[in-house]
Amino acid sequence: MQTMAGSEDQKFSLQEVLDTFKLCLSENKEVYLEQYVAGWRGLVKFLNSLGSVFGFISKDAVGKIQILVSYMKGENASHYATVQSMVKYELDNNLVDVNKKGSHPESGCRTLLRLHRALRWLELFLDRLRTSTEDSKTSALCAEAYNESLAQHHPWMIRKAAGMAFLVLPGRQTFFEVMNVGPPEQVVAKLGEALPLISEVYQITEDLYAQHNLLDLP
Ligand SMILES: CCCCCCCCCCCCC/C=C/[C@@H](O)[C@H](COP(=O)(O)O)NC(=O)CCCCCCCCCCCCCCC
């Protein structure tokens, strides 16, 4: 259908995101940036399908994805194959503002850290969705997950805006439908499959960042 042009690649599927996170880890447990970014692209699709109230959130995520992609496609692309190689390269070459913003305000390391923190939110939120009941409120689940994670890194204004956006989240049933997986039991099963993968990617990144003292990059 002509009028639907472009809508197909905008369609979210949880399976697709699951697949990209599955492909994220190399044999020796390095995190491929390409797949990591692809996972985020899929999530942004989902967010966009929820409506324009979430535009300010998806805009920020897209901006960060773009920063990473520009490094992955830039002249030092070979160093941006995995999160591990990126951290090593940027640290070895003093490309990271470590204590306060300076000449490298958009390093790959600090940019990825923002998405990494958001991945923790996702992990908490999906787990709540997975164990939720029919009468659970997605807005409450989302707010709880947010308060436990990302909110701690956000100033008051952003927390307020996020809190207001959560209020207009669709209900659990609609939410499950947008995931394009099938009936609720299947969504729950799929979430159960996705979570360990997301957790592992999160934990490997967290350990790497902790080891290099990068968890508070400005
Ligand atoms: C489904 C509901 C979606 C709710 C999303 C929850 C996260 C709320 C985040 C609010 C961020 C507001 C935008 C601004 C953020 C920035 O200030 C802030 C700091 O950046 P800076 O240091 O460069 O200034 N940026 C960030 O923390 C990065 C935020 C990235 C958020 C990405 C959220 C993607 C959500 C994907 C939803 C997918 C749900 C999937 C269900 C199957």
Q: What is the CATH number of the domain that holds 205?
A: 1.10.3520.10
Q: How far is the CA of 150 from the centre of ligand 1 (A)?
A: 8
| pLDDT of 138 above 90 | yes
Q: Which residues are CB-contacts of 120 (< 8 A; sequence separation ≥ 6)?
A: 149, 150, 202
Number of domain units in the chain: 1
Kindly provide the residue ranges of all beta strands, DSSP E only, lying in the chain, ordered along the sequence.
none
87 CB less than 6 Å from ligand 1?
Answer: no
Residue closest to 85 by CA, chosen among 39, 43, 123, 28: 28
Evaluate whether residue 3 is within a structural domain. no
Domain that includes residue 89, residue range: 13-98+109-211
Q: How far is the CA of 110 from the centre of ligand 1 (A)?
A: 15
Evaluate whether residue 166 is within a structural domain. yes
Evaluate whether residue 216 is within a structural domain. no
Distances (CA, A) of 98 to 45, 116, 148, 215: 32, 17, 25, 10
47 CB less than 6 Å from ligand 1?
Answer: yes
User: From its phi and psi, is residue 13 left (phi > 0), alpha (psi between -120 and 50) or beta?
Assistant: beta
Ligand 1, atom 39, residue with closest C-alpha: 43
14 CB less than 6 Å from ligand 1?
Answer: yes
The token pair at 163 is 């809190």
What is the reported pLDDT for 13? 82
129 CB less than 6 Å from ligand 1?
Answer: no
What is the reported pLDDT for 12? 78
Per-residue pLDDT tens for 44-56? 999 998 889 999 9
The ipTM of this complex is: 0.97
Ligand 1, atom 25, residue with closest C-alpha: 114
Counting from 1 in the atom list of ligand 1, the atom nearest the Cα of 12 is 42
How much is the pTM? Answer: 0.94
**94 vs 133: CA distance, rounded Å:** 49
Q: Are 119 and 36 in contact (CB under 8 A)?
A: no
Evaluate whether residue 2 is within a structural domain. no
Name beta bridge partners: 25: 31
Evaluate whether residue 163 is within a structural domain. yes
Evaluate whether residue 160 is within a structural domain. yes
**42 vs 38: CA distance, rounded Å:** 6
Evaluate whether residue 1 is within a structural domain. no
For the packed helices 156-167 and 55-73, what is the interaxial angle rounded to 10 degrees?
A: 120
Ligand 1, atom 38, residue with closest C-alpha: 43
* Residue 16's pLDDT band (cuts 50, 70, 90): confident
Evaluate whether residue 195 is within a structural domain. yes
What is the reported pLDDT for 1? 38
